[in-house]
Amino acid sequence: MDLIVARNRADLLAARREGTVALVPTMGALHEGHRSLIRQARVRSDQVVVSIFVNPLQFGPSEDFSRYPRTFDDDLDVCRDEGVDVVFHPGVDDMYPPGRQVSVSAGEMGRVVEGASRPGHFDGVLTVVLKLFNLVRPDLAVFGQKDAQQLALIRRMVADLDVPVEILGAPTVRESDGLALSSRNRYLSDDDRKVALGLSRALRAGAAQLTPDKIRTAAHEVLAQAGPRLELDYLALVDPATFTDVSESYHGMAVLAVAARVGSTRLIDNVTVTLNPS
């Protein structure tokens, strides 16, 4: 079947077929990481819906909403290549009709780590994701592990609000040099990109250690080597269920997360580590 582009709720309803539906929510500017999400959705469902919507609620007043890359025609080509059935591409007024008052609160987990640097960001993320779930009515939805805190919060929302959607997390896709794929990578100059590699190098250095203090120390040493052009926002070692800092005695899986600005571009990355294995 030909790819269907649904631009409003009526189009989306008309495009729905019988069978299992998988949703891949995106803000567009699709890359190989998005392709990997679509492929996971494809093998798990009868119909794949990709949403392309740059969500204004998750951008702060000084962030890059107007600058965020919008490459809709190229995104459609990606979706056709990957066998997507429906692209949902609503306008802002379609998603947020005039007079809207109710939003989703991300709670305490939405105010730490990335949420501390971007107040209100995760409220905006959860609000749009819940709206997409209600509009598309998927059986499952696929999100990338690169946005680990977002993935954890979506799982928390689904559990807390009894949303009947299975959440799948897909591994981070990286370039051959280790840089995590991101739509914002296109903003990086060649020199910026070399500096940005300090993020993945720091995560690898930290992941090679076994205790919290050694992990943090090793990662910070690599970040310092990247020089002043890498402006660190945070390096955090956290419990993957709550995103609170782990203690030195913590055992089990944890997330080592980093955010930094290179030039005018803010990047995030993370890896999963095992602490104090027995």
Residues placed in the known binding site = 27-34, 58, 144-147, 150, 173, 181-184
How many angstroms separate the first and last alpha carbons of the chain? 53
Query: How many Cα atoms are found within 13 Å in the side-chain-facing hemisphere of 151?
Result: 19
CA–CA distance, 266 with 252 (Å, rounded to integer):
30
Residue 62 tokens read as: 């000084």
Instruction: Give yes or no: 89 in active site.
Output: no
Q: Which residues are annotated as a binding site for ATP?
A: 27-34, 144-147, 173, 181-184
CB 143 within 8 A of CB 170: yes
The catalytic position among 34, 89, 220, 251 is: 34
CA–CA distance, 25 with 53 (Å, rounded to integer):
8
| Alpha carbon of residue 277 to chain centroid | 29
CA–CA distance, 9 with 269 (Å, rounded to integer):
34
CA–CA distance, 174 with 43 (Å, rounded to integer):
22
Residue 22 tokens read as: 């998988």
CA–CA distance, 87 with 96 (Å, rounded to integer):
18
Going from the C-alpha of 70 to that of each of 23, 55, 91, 216, 218, the distances in angstroms are 20, 12, 13, 36, 37
Q: Which residues are annotated as a binding site for (R)-pantoate?
A: 58, 150
Residue by residue, DSSP assigns 13-70 as HHH--SS-EEEEEE-S---HHHHHHHHHHHHH-SEEEEEE---GGGS-TTS-TTTS--
Active site positions, annotated: 34
